[in-house]
Structure 1
Amino acid sequence: MLLDELVTATDAVTATRSRLAKVDALAALLVRLEPDEIEPAIGLLVGKPRQGRLGVGWRGMQSVLATAEPAEVATLTVAALDAALERLAAASGTGSNLERGRELHDLVAAATAREQQFIARAVLGEMRTGALEGVLADAIASAADRPAASVRRAAMLQGDLGATARLALTGTPDELDAVGLVVGRPVQPMLAATASSAAAALEVTGEASVEHKLDGARIQVHRRGDDVRVFTRTLADVTHRLPEVVEIVRGLPVHDVILDGETLALDDGGAPRPFQETMSRFGAEVARETLLHPWFFDVLHVDGRDLLDEPLRARLGELERIAGPYRIRGEVTADPAVAERVSREALAAGQEGVVVKAIDAPYAAGRRGRSWVKVKPVHTYDLVVLACEWGSGRRTGLLSNLHLGALDPVGEFGPPGGFVMVGKTFKGLTDELLRWQTERFPQIETRRTAGTVFVEPVTVVEIAIDGVQRSSRYPGGVALRFARVKGYRDDKPPAEADTIQALRGLLRE
Structure 2
Amino acid sequence: MRFLDLAATSAAVAATSGRKAKIELLADALRRLDPGEIAAGSAFLAGELRQRQTGVGYASLRDRPPPATEPSLTVAGVDAAVAEISVVAGAGSQARRRELLGALFAAATDEEQRLLIGLFGGELRQGAQAGLLADAIAKAAEVPLTAVRRALLLSGDLKQVAVAALTGGAAALAEIHLRVGTPLTPMLAQAAPDVGAALLATGTPATVDVKLDGIRIQVHRSGDDVAVFTRSLDDITSRMPEVVAAVRKLPLREAVLDGEAMTLDETGRPRPFQETSSRAATRGARAAGRGKAAESAPAPAPLALTPYFFDLLHLDGADLLDEPGRVRWAALADALPAELIVGRTTAETEEEAAAAFAAALAAGQEGVVVKAAEAPYDVGRRGNAWVKVKPRHTLDLVVLAAEWGHGRRRGWLSNLHLGALDPRTGEFVMLGKTFKGLTDELLRWQTERFKQLQIDDNGWAVRVRPVQVVEIAFDGVQTSPRYPGGVALRFARVLRYRDDKPATEADTIDTVRAIGGYPPP
TM-score (norm 2): 0.93
Which of 186, 189, 192 aligns to 2:186? It is 189
* Alpha-carbon distance in 1 for matches of 2:471, 2:96: 38
Query: Match of 1:147?
Result: 144
For residues 201-257 of structure 1, what are the alpha-carbon distances to aligned partners after superposition, in whole Å with 9 as ceiling and x for unaligned? 111111321111112111100011111000011111000011111111111121110
Instruction: Percent identity, please.
Output: 54
* Alpha-carbon distance in 2 for matches of 1:161, 1:118: 19
Query: Match of 2:161?
Result: 164
Which of 97, 108, 111 aligns to 1:111? It is 108
Query: Match of 2:401?
Result: 387
Which of 483, 500, 503 aligns to 1:474? It is 483
Contact 1:39–1:162 (Cα < 8 Å) also in 2: yes
Contact 2:216–2:261 (Cα < 8 Å) also in 1: yes
The Cα shift of 1:468 comes to 1.3
The Cα shift of 1:399 comes to 1.6
Query: Match of 1:309?
Result: 322
Which of 279, 282, 295 aligns to 1:281? It is 279
* Alpha-carbon distance in 1 for matches of 2:513, 2:26: 30
Query: Match of 1:322?
Result: 335
The Cα shift of 1:284 comes to 6.5
Query: Match of 1:244?
Result: 242
Find the residue that maps to 1:389 and give its secondary structure.
Answer: strand
Amino acid of the structure 2 residue aligned with 1:211: D
The Cα shift of 1:15 comes to 2.4
Unmatched segments (≥5 aa) in structure 2: 284-298
Amino acid of the structure 2 residue aligned with 1:239: T
Query: Match of 1:413?
Result: none
* Alpha-carbon distance in 2 for matches of 1:103, 1:139: 33
Query: Match of 1:179?
Result: 176
Amino acid of the structure 2 residue aligned with 1:143: A
* Alpha-carbon distance in 2 for matches of 1:450, 1:83: 39
Amino acid of the structure 2 residue aligned with 1:230: V
* Alpha-carbon distance in 2 for matches of 1:173, 1:455: 41
The Cα shift of 1:461 comes to 1.0
Runs of 4+ in 1 over 6 A off after TM superposition: none
* Alpha-carbon distance in 1 for matches of 2:79, 2:484: 38
Contact 1:46–1:122 (Cα < 8 Å) also in 2: no
For residues 84-128 of structure 1, what are the alpha-carbon distances to aligned partners after superposition, in whole Å with 9 as ceiling and x for unaligned? 110111111111111111111111111111111111111221121
* Alpha-carbon distance in 2 for matches of 1:492, 1:56: 23
For residues 257-289 of structure 1, what are the alpha-carbon distances to aligned partners after superposition, in whole Å with 9 as ceiling and x for unaligned? 000111111111111111111112322758833
**Alignment of structure 1 residues 360-379 onto 2, 5 Å:** 360-379=374-393
Once the two structures are overlaid, the 10-residue window that deviates more, 13-22 or 246-255, is: 13-22
Unmatched segments (≥5 aa) in structure 1: 411-415
Query: Match of 2:7?
Result: 7
* Alpha-carbon distance in 2 for matches of 1:55, 1:408: 30
TM-score (norm 1): 0.96
* Alpha-carbon distance in 2 for matches of 1:254, 1:380: 39
Contact 2:420–2:428 (Cα < 8 Å) also in 1: yes
Query: Match of 1:406?
Result: 420
Once the two structures are overlaid, the 10-residue window that deviates more, 344-353 or 76-85, is: 344-353
**Alignment of structure 1 residues 19-418 onto 2, 5 Å:** 19-64=19-64, 68-207=65-204, 208-283=206-281, 285=283, 288-323=301-336, 324-410=338-424, 416-418=425-427
The Cα shift of 1:369 comes to 1.7
Q: CA RMSD in A?
A: 1.5
* Alpha-carbon distance in 1 for matches of 2:89, 2:244: 29
* Alpha-carbon distance in 2 for matches of 1:362, 1:421: 35
* Alpha-carbon distance in 1 for matches of 2:461, 2:29: 41
For residues 334-390 of structure 1, what are the alpha-carbon distances to aligned partners after superposition, in whole Å with 9 as ceiling and x for unaligned? 322211211111111111111111101111111112211111121111111111122
Query: Match of 2:292?
Result: none
Contact 2:236–2:282 (Cα < 8 Å) also in 1: no
* Alpha-carbon distance in 1 for matches of 2:386, 2:513: 21
